[in-house]
Amino acid sequence: MRMLFLTVLFLGAIFNITAQNKKSNGLKLPDPLLSENGTKINNVEKWENIRRPEILEMVKNLMYGTSPEAPGKLKFVLFDQSENALKGKAIRKQVAVYISGKTDYHLLDLLIYLPKNMNKSVPVFLGLNFQGNHAINKDLAIRLSDKWVWIGAGGSEKNHPTERSRGAVSSRWPIEMILDKGYGVATVYAGDLDPDYYDDFKNGIHALYPKLQSRDDNFSTMGAWAWGLSRCMDYFEIDNDIDETKIGIFGFSRMGKAAIWAGANDERFGMVISNESGGGGAALSKRKVGENLARLNKGNRHWFSKSFSQFNEHEENLPFDQHMVLALVAPRPIYVGSAEGDPGSDSEGEFLSLKHASSVYNLFEMEGFKNTQFPHVDSPVFKEGMGYHIRSGTHDIKEYDWQQFLKFADRCWK
């Protein structure tokens, strides 16, 4: 009976892979190196001056939404610093970021852990978290969020964190392992910027920019999250303990979508890492596998611009796809992680997105994945400028994922 069960599982996996492969047969994708007026982009200068701005404006207007300019002045308040955090293994900083004005607006709280005894500024991985800074570690000194947090589906006014939620997602944040490799970790709660439910943009930072909500290319939640990550970058530029030229922006699932958009927009980020970001993230939309656009836009209509919904069930009409969004990161290193047991994220579509972005990396004389085949499970692929793995397991971020991110960072930065 057990053998029959395993055989069914195996055949099911083969069927799923075959079905996904069929989605790639005859797949027609826009050429990232062909401008809207037909100009062939064959060098870096044309990419940076013609095609990159063109793609950036296109995806901004049609998908992620138009974000405001950076605030004229930010105020950073270091409200906590410890030289002996995590039982003496780390330096901890907590920084409150305010938008200066007649009444300072508390934008976000930034939590930072740095390795001790470093005689130079250190590279840092920055990412959004789902449930508040306090949820990434049981450190009692982390300020408990006073915002709505995601506890189950829907937006409830009662979803406020308690002490019991400390360290709730610590398995996704192996801080000590990262510190041991000589890297820092920084995070901000996504809900500081905008809560993850549709509220007609009444909460979060959207209230500061009401004019951006009246158009189809509205200031979306994904845009707000990415914009907030750039404000963290503003702080890194003034902290002498942090190497602002080596900030790796990363994210898991929906936060991976935001990380890609932040890295595409803000060229100050030195590396972009997406883990199982799926549709609207690393995966190709035109394959219509996993999170198709109708599912994305109807289930989470706050994530993207209003105009993006015109492509529900009509992905073939998109004038771009996610390989072009990933290409906006070039020539900075980019890494995508997938999971075998996560069909919703479309692992092959995530890999193909990297592969089709490789032509832009080639302009910068970087190898990319142009001639790379889809790898076996738990067999990471590292090339110049790109990295990818599909691991065993389901939709999550594991220590294995982080091990590959660290290897990739070592390869690119050390």
Asked whether residue 199 is domain-assigned, the answer is: yes
- Tell me what pLDDT residue 15 has: 40
Asked whether residue 18 is domain-assigned, the answer is: no
Asked whether residue 371 is domain-assigned, the answer is: yes
Position 50 pLDDT exceeds 70:
yes
The model's confidence at residue 211, banded by pLDDT at 50, 70 and 90, is confident
- Tell me what pLDDT residue 288 has: 95
Phi, then psi, of 405 in degrees rounded to 5 = -60, -45
- Tell me what pLDDT residue 236 has: 98
257 in Cβ contact with 276 (< 8 Å): no
Give the mean pLDDT of the chain: 91
Cα–chain-centroid distance for residue 21?
A: 26
Position 19 pLDDT exceeds 50:
no
Structure confidence by residue, pLDDT tens digits, 141-180: 999 998 888 765 444 445 778 899 999 999 999 999 999 9
Beta strands in 253-303 (DSSP E): 271-275
The model's confidence at residue 23, banded by pLDDT at 50, 70 and 90, is low
Among residues 24, 35, 121, 395, the one annotated as catalytic is 395
pLDDT (mean) for 319-324: 98
Instruction: Give percent above pLDDT 70 in the chain.
Output: 92
At 311, list the tokens.
């492509």
Among residues 253, 338, 347, 353, the one annotated as catalytic is 253
395 is known as an active-site residue: yes
Position 322 pLDDT exceeds 60:
yes
Asked whether residue 16 is domain-assigned, the answer is: no
Which of residues 8 and 90 earns the better pLDDT score? 90
Asked whether residue 184 is domain-assigned, the answer is: yes
Of 82, 28, 125, 62, nearest to 408 by C-alpha is 125
Place of tokens 């195996």: 10
- How far is it, in rounded angstroms, from Cα 323 to Cα 352? 8
Which of 194-198, 222-226, 322-326, 383-387 is least confident?
Answer: 194-198
Position 14 pLDDT exceeds 70:
no
- How far is it, in rounded angstroms, from Cα 216 to Cα 307? 5
Asked whether residue 12 is domain-assigned, the answer is: no
- Three-state secondary-structure class, residue 122: strand
Asked whether residue 201 is domain-assigned, the answer is: yes
- Tell me what pLDDT residue 404 has: 98
Phi, then psi, of 334 in degrees rounded to 5 = -135, 140
Which of 68-72, 88-92, 132-136, 390-394 is least confident?
Answer: 68-72
Identify the domain containing residue 144 by its residue range. 31-413
Position 7 pLDDT exceeds 50:
no
At 216, list the tokens.
């189809």
- Tell me what pLDDT residue 25 has: 58
Which of 118-132, 208-222, 237-251 is least confident?
Answer: 208-222
- What CATH code is carried by the domain that includes residue 53? 3.40.50.1820
At 28, list the tokens.
């027609």
**Residue 313 vs residues 100, 136, 292, 394: alpha-carbon distances, Å:** 44, 37, 8, 27
Cα–chain-centroid distance for residue 203?
A: 22
The model's confidence at residue 24, banded by pLDDT at 50, 70 and 90, is low
- Tell me what pLDDT residue 181 has: 97
Structure confidence by residue, pLDDT tens digits, 353-376: 999 999 999 999 999 999 999 999
How would you classify the pairing of strands 122-129 and 184-189?
A: parallel
Structure confidence by residue, pLDDT tens digits, 86-144: 999 999 999 999 999 878 999 999 999 999 988 899 999 999 999 999 999 999 999 99
230 is known as an active-site residue: no
For Cα atoms 273, 278, 280, give the angle at the middle one, nearest 5 degrees: 90
Q: How many CA atoms lie within 13 A of 64 on its CB side?
A: 32
- Three-state secondary-structure class, residue 392: strand
Structure confidence by residue, pLDDT tens digits, 268-319: 999 999 999 999 999 999 999 999 999 999 999 999 999 999 999 999 999 9
> In the chain, how many domains are there?
1
